[in-house]
Structure 1
Amino acid sequence: MKPRAVVFAYHNVGVRCLQVLLARGVDVALVVTHEDSATENIWFGSVKAVAGEHGIPVVTPADPQSAGLRAAVSAARPDFIFSFYYRHMLPTGLLALAARGAYNMHGSLLPKYRGRVPTNWAVLHGETETGATLHEMAAKPDAGAIVAQTPVPILPDDTAAQVFDKVTVAAEQTLWRVLPALLAGDAPHLPNDLSQGSYFGGRKPEDGRIDWSRSAQQVYNLIRAVAPPYPGAFTDIGGERFVIARARLARPGSAPAHLPAGISVSDNAFFAVCGDGRAIAIHELWHQRDGADTVITPAAFSELVQSVSRP
């Protein structure tokens, strides 16, 4: 008899890991996912659509602690519960319905970067490596025993979206590699020493505000960590908002000397000088107004900044 699973999933990791379960012959009896939010930029794949293509029942409860969801999971009689980038913590009473265990795929090398948006935090902090970890679910977030991990590099100019693509592949590889042993009851369960790790909460668009007193590397890490399709790193000038969509650390000596802190235009190019005197070369700048982003040229930026700066 095929092992049965209830899968809580969302986003690209949810799509790929659901497909791994199906490819490995797991009977997915129920998929629990989220309704897409009209206020969010939906740039990722649809778990709901994949489940529909395979004829798998789908529910989208607002509250994972609801009695209705518990009844639906119980009726599915799962051997396993899996969570792949589902956005809510699952109550322990729900996890207990899985006869052979409940497992989550997390986008970091646990115990580092437990909690929310781990890829963004890793880029923000200048890490050179992250990855994906399959672990047992417990009462605390990302705290259960580690079953398998796959690392990926973070290159110096990688954005969080580029790293997330790597983490998605790492999650798929991790699950594909360890799933046969997990189904056979032979998978390792290694200690997850929380004292050696870290926990981070979610991030808001306002967290993308640039502090130009920071070093150029710190500002650049922020730009990479929240670059599109995330909301972007931004600065306000005279009531106008500008979002840095693409940038690079300027090579030493490549930026004009004596530019003021913040964004400037020189020789029809954007530069941003930071607190340590180093500059960032901005390759694409957006002017944000009324919720819409428009690419702005150096000439148009200079004209706009002059107009809003006039007394």
Structure 2
Amino acid sequence: MRAVVFAYQEIGYVCLEELIDFGADVICLFTHSDDPGEEIWYRRPVTVAEKHNIPVHTPESLKDPRWAALIADARPDIIFSFYYRKMIPKEILDIPKIGAFNLHGSLLPRFRGRSPVNWVLIAGEKETGLTLHYMLEKPDAGDMVAQKKIDIDFEDNVYTVYMKMAEAARGLMKEVLPQLSEGTFTRRPQTGVSSYFGGRRPEDGIVMWEKDAVSIYNLTRAVTHPYPGAFTYLDGKKLYIWKAFPEDLPRNALPGKVISLVPFTVSTGKGGLRLLSVQLEGEEEMDGETFARLHDMEGKIFGGTA
């Protein structure tokens, strides 16, 4: 089975490894040049490609006709996209005889679009997973060929969920590659309730203290390291909340007001939020109680803007 692979991030690394272990002839890898402004916390598929002498391409745009020509000349049986960040043009998707497949980070048709691992946590979902599906011009809309579920524990955060998904991706590939190679796979349309979410920006991490403690907790764990972080303002400076936990407390204070120093707890629209690890703009990250002691947080109110 001759394959052209588009891949990035840890899941791209894992899936490319599985393809090679399966014995697929990987013709080339399309990937991304690393962004100097992005924390590279994952293994990169390019290292797998280099180890196995697979040609690597990092085009700024796939719309240049030379890329479709290069892939057509290579005569692939199949194309895979594993967390590749660019849309792949139809003229490329139409080339392979088996098909072009994308691995999406949710249980389609729910959570189509960008940043699904963040959005499922913000929504407080108790499970998510991966879907391998045919690629169409419309993103995340093609027929499905495989899915793998994972559980989300209440203590999970974006990193732990992502690593569960990477492990699930390896298992999914082991199961589906023989079926794809032998032509024994089945395809089924996406049915049921669907949802679509756009990409997230750092400024979307602002905490709205009027919300309930669980909703704020879900935001903090959805955008914690290695993402930009949930934040609020303290005396005009950004305060990042890297780790927190909701407390079932009666509402008896203004949302955003510090109601305890030990443990360091803030009132919300419903319940309290215990701040376990925080970082004031320009300072090092530290545990909440140490921060409260060093910054005289008695009676302080979070919120507002810079």
User: Structure 2 length as normaliser, TM-score?
Assistant: 0.92
Paired residue for 1:142? 140
The verdict on how the C-alpha distance between 1:263 and 1:72 changes in structure 2, with shifts beyond 3 A counting, is farther
Cα distance change, pair 304–79 in 1 and its aligned pair in 2 (3 A): farther
Change (3 A) 1:199 1:303: closer
Change (3 A) 1:14 1:232: same
Q: Structure 1 residues 239, 252: CA separation in 2 closer, same or farther (over 3 Å shift)?
A: closer
**Among residues 256, 269, 286, which one is paired with 1:275 in the alignment?**
269
SS in structure 2 at match of 1:302: coil
Q: Identify unmatched segments of 5+ residues in structure 2.
A: 301-306
Distance, in Å, in 2 between the alignment partners of 1:100 and 1:199 is 27
Alignment of 1:253-292 (within 5 A): 258-262=252-256, 264=258, 266-276=260-270, 278-289=271-282
Looking at structure 2, the residues matched to 174 and 162 of structure 1 have their Cα atoms a distance apart, in angstroms, of: 18
- 1:80-111 residue CA offsets vs partner (Å, 9 max, x unmatched): 00000000111111111112210011111111
Quick check: 2:223–2:230 contact (8 Å CA) kept in 1?
Answer: yes
Superposed displacement of residue 74, structure 1: 2.0
Return the match for 1:298 from 288, 292, 295.
Answer: 292
In the TM superposition, what are the counterparts of 1:204-243 in structure 2 within 5 Å?
204-243=201-240
More displaced, 31-40 or 229-238? 229-238
Deviations 1:155-183 (A, max 9, x none): 11211111111111111111110110111
Q: Indicate the SS of the match to 2:285.
A: strand
Query: In the alignment, what sits opposite 1:183?
Result: 181
Letter aligned with residue 77 of structure 1 = R
SS of 2:273's partner is strand
Match of 1:309 in 2: none
Within the candidate set 119, 126, 129, 2:127 is matched to: 129
Q: How many residues align?
A: 298
- Is residue 16 of structure 2 the alignment partner of residue 26 of structure 1? no
Q: Note if contact 1:160-1:226 (Cα within 8 Å) is conserved in structure 2.
A: yes
Alpha-carbon separation, structure 2, partners of 1:36 and 1:304: 43
Give me the whole-angstrom Cα distance separating, in 1, the residues matched to 2:265 and 2:56. Answer: 49
SS in 1 for 2:185: coil
8 Å CA contact 2:258, 2:298 repeated in 1 = no
Identity rate of aligned residues, in percent? 40
**TM-score, with length taken from structure 1:** 0.91
Task: Please give the alpha-carbon distance, in whole angstroms, between the structure 1 residues aligned to 2:164 and 2:257.
Answer: 31
SS in 2 for 1:134: strand
C-alpha separation in 1, matches of 2:53 and 2:71? 17
- Matched residue, 2:114: 116
Alignment deviations for residues 187-221 of structure 1 (CA, whole Å, 9 cap, x no partner): 0101112x621111100000000011111111111
Q: CA deviation at 1:260?
A: 3.8
Mark the CA change 1:251 to 1:196 in structure 2 (over 3 Å): closer, same or farther: closer
Counterpart for residue 98 of structure 2: 100
Give 3-state SS (helix, strand or coil) of 2:211's partner: coil
- SS of the counterpart of 1:171? helix
- 1:41 Cα offset (Å): 1.1
For the aligned residues, what is the CA RMSD?
2.0
Which deviates further from its counterpart, 145-154 or 68-77? 68-77
Distance in 2 separating the partners of 1:100 and 1:268: 60
Secondary structure at the aligned position of 1:99 is classed as coil
User: Partner of 2:207: helix, strand, or coil?
Assistant: coil
The AA in structure 2 aligned to 1:210 is V
Partner of 2:303: none
Q: Which of 68, 78, 81 is residue 80 of structure 1 equivalent to?
A: 78
- Is the CA contact 1:265–1:298 (under 8 Å) kept in the aligned structure 2? no
Matches within 5 A, 1:242-253: 242-252=239-249
CA distance in 1, matches of 2:298, 2:31: 44
